[in-house]
Chain A
Amino acid sequence: MKNQKRWGLFFFLSPVLLWLFLLIVLPHIDLLAMSFRIENDDGQMVWSLSNYLNFFEEPIYWLTFVRTAIFSILVTFLTFVIALPVAFYITKVVAPKFQGFLLVLLLLPFWVSELVRVYGWMILLRESGVINHFLIKLGLLNQPIEMLYKDATMILGLVYTSMLFMVVPITSVLDSLDNSLIEAAYDLGANMWTILFKIIIPHATPGIVSGSIVVFMLTLGNYLTPNLMGGKNSLWFTEQIYNQFIASFNWNQGSAFGFLLLVLSSIVVWLGLKLTRQNLRKVVQ
């Protein structure tokens, strides 16, 4: 009986394992090996750490790396701050029959590709764009200003791209939050903020954490939005990887960067998990 169960498990799990192994583990092993090899003066491939050393010796590399990490965390946090009220509104304020409609409305922008969405923003924001046009028509501006190619614009684009991935998990946890808990807290003397921090956020933590992980990873690995909206002054680490692979054709350096990014995202996610669990424990005490 027990054996049978184990075989059943194996049977259903094996396609998943195979998929994981062939498409993810195998290429990564190859990339990992590649990142430790360089071409020596004789044109032969040898083992070396210099791909990684390059990263630390060249400030532009690690500065971009730190920048990317900090901005990704910031984007994740901003997305959360915007998504929580949105999710709360959808689940608790709006009449149930409109809930589905609102969620579809949120989903709508994701039916067009990211590229089109980013170009949409560019049409709005560029020097000769819609917003500048209206501001000048209204007499609020004398001459158009460039709104694109700034960090703020890039963050705007990244938050916009990530919204759905935060709203959906938070909506689903808030759906399971009993309204009477909120009312009970209100009845026992809590104000809006206490209800938010003592009832809603603790209840929503699993959704917030999973949403944050997805948003953080997507942002960290995003290439299009930082590249198009951030312009020359807003370097993103994925652009460095792209440059190595495509522009310099240095696959070894590129793989090293790729692995550094992987390590970074793993560390931040692990820290995040640790932190929230700690917080949770603190709340429980």
Chain B
Amino acid sequence: MLRKPPLFSQDVKQRLAIRFFMQIDLSVQEVTKKFNEFIAVDNVSFEVPDGSFFSILGPSGCGKTTLLRMIAGLTEPTEGKIEIRGKSMLGIPPNKRPVNLIFQQLALFPMMNVEENIAFGLRRRGEGKVDIKKKVEAILERVDLAGFGDKKIDQLSGGQKQRVAIARCLVLEPAVLLLDEPLGALDLKLREQMKVELKMLQAKVGTTFVYITHDQSEALVMSDHVAVMNQGVFEQIDTPQNLYNRPETPFVAQFVGDNNAWSGRIRQCNDMTAEIETAEGPIFHTKVRESLQPGDEVDLFLRPEAMLILPDPSLSELNRFHIIVKDILFDGANSRLLAHPLDADTELLIALPQTRQYDYIQKNDKIEIGWDQQSGICFRRS
């Protein structure tokens, strides 16, 4: 029997699926917010598909909360459009929007117990008593707080408050759940734990999460997509892997993960490989993404783990230079060498593999470092 050739190739099918079946839950189009003359959010656009975990990562004061509050309806944008599940949210007050916001300070109601906090939204919708009770119990179970219903808010630990705040919003089954640095107030250990828990919870309930944070590890660990925000502008929207490996702007390169910055000038450039004379001395060869002219000023970024200690002499294609060790920063699997190049005092961080083979390295040692031409990230300075 002759098999009919498929109508569409696999690739086209997938793209069509995304186009027609993946619903866009949240669409923000060219949104700007001005406070008097100050521009807090500047022409930001993005889309979040149904069921995904989207993070907005940026330093303190870059406009993350302002953006989230506009989505929740607590602030009106100066310009631009916000759509939730295809419906324009212009002029719709927060209590009529299918989104819920978890505040930076959680904002649990201290005058009510856990159960009443969670039932608050359901009661406002006028649902039946029996239904409310069932839903509250189900959601408490889901966030591992079964039996905590009649506890007072101030009897809960930080992590438990956290989960009550999440439950209070999730029970309303919002189209989008907005989270404003909800882990900010927790201590480090709990934060690590909640990070994983949140990610698993999101996978379990399948609600679309828009999560804002200034902690890059939170954003990288939890998200499907991350937007990096700086001074009101989105610098890059991408997967965590791409943000780390292929940053598109110097800000992203420096903000996401650690990076060593060099400044230099192009000596020559062909075939997307450039020869750069750095201000610190060494001359490097690196691949570049755009064609650069000799004489162009550039910033070169190198990840700590891109630099190899005492590279094998047989490896060609490596940039090699010498450094002086200033200090050894022991931090378990994340240990580094703090060093500087021979003739300059720029600080460099170099990953120190914990295989114990480099245990002999001491302060003030002079050692050779090598890095692959593929791993440099180069931007023309504007």
A residues contacting B by CB (< 8 A) are: 178, 180-181, 183-191, 194, 198-199, 202-203, 283-284
Contact = CB atoms under 8 A, between A and B. Distances in A.
Interface string B99-130: 01101110111111100100011001100000
A180 B105 contact: yes
Contacts of B94: 183, 186-187
A260 to B, nearest CB: 38
The listed residue with most B CB atoms (<10 A of its CB), out of A180, A194, A284, is A180
Contacts of B100: 187-188
A283 B117 CA distance: 12
B112 A185 contact: no
Given A190-B120, A199-B111, A184 B125 contact: no
B202 to A, nearest CB: 19
What DSSP secondary structure best describes chain A's contact surface? Answer: helix
Given A183-B103, A187-B72, 7 more contacts: A180-B103, A185-B109, A188-B95, A189-B96, A189-B124, A198-B111, A202-B111
Contact of B107 (A183, A190, A284): A183
A189 B103 contact: no
The listed residue with most B CB atoms (<10 A of its CB), out of A188, A189, A191, is A188
The listed residue with most B CB atoms (<10 A of its CB), out of A178, A183, A191, A202, is A183
Contacts of A191: 95, 124
Given A186-B74, A189-B125, A194-B124, A284 B111 contact: yes
Contacts of B120: 185, 188, 190, 198
Contact of A180 (B95, B96, B107, B113): B107
B285 interface: no
Contacts of A283: 111-112
A201 to B, nearest CB: 10
Contacts of B104: 180
21 contacts: A178-B107, A180-B104, A181-B107, A183-B74, A183-B101, A183-B103, A187-B95, A187-B101, A188-B95, A188-B100, A188-B121, A188-B169, A189-B95, A189-B96, A189-B124, A190-B124, A198-B120, A203-B110, A283-B111, A284-B111, A284-B116
A180 B107 CA distance: 6
A181 to B, nearest CB: 5
B147 to A, nearest CB: 18
Interface residues of B, number: 27
B172 interface: yes
B168 interface: yes
Given A180-B103, A184-B107, A284 B112 contact: yes
B109 A189 contact: no
A194 B109 CA distance: 13
Contacts of A186: 74, 93-95
B124 A184 contact: no
B74 to A, nearest CB: 5
The listed residue with most B CB atoms (<10 A of its CB), out of A185, A189, A203, is A189
B280 to A, nearest CB: 48
Closest 8 CB pairs of A and B: A189-B124, A184-B107, A188-B121, A180-B107, A202-B111, A189-B95, A180-B103, A187-B94
A283 B113 CA distance: 10
A189 B121 CA distance: 6
Nearest to A202: B111
The listed residue with most A CB atoms (<10 A of its CB), out of B100, B110, B120, B172, is B120
Contacts of A188: 95, 100, 120-121, 124, 168-169, 172
Nearest to B74: A183
Contacts of A202: 111
A203 B124 CA distance: 19
B111 A178 contact: no
Given A180-B107, A183-B103, A284 B113 contact: yes
Interface in B64-83: 72-74
Interface string B181-198: 000000000000000000
A148 B120 CA distance: 49
A187 B72 CA distance: 7
A284 B74 CA distance: 28
Contacts of B107: 178, 180-181, 183-184
Contacts of B109: 181, 184-185, 198-199
Contacts of A178: 105, 107
A27 B344 CA distance: 89
Contacts of A189: 95-96, 121, 124-125, 172
A184 B101 contact: yes
B71 to A, nearest CB: 11
A276 to B, nearest CB: 13
Nearest to A179: B107
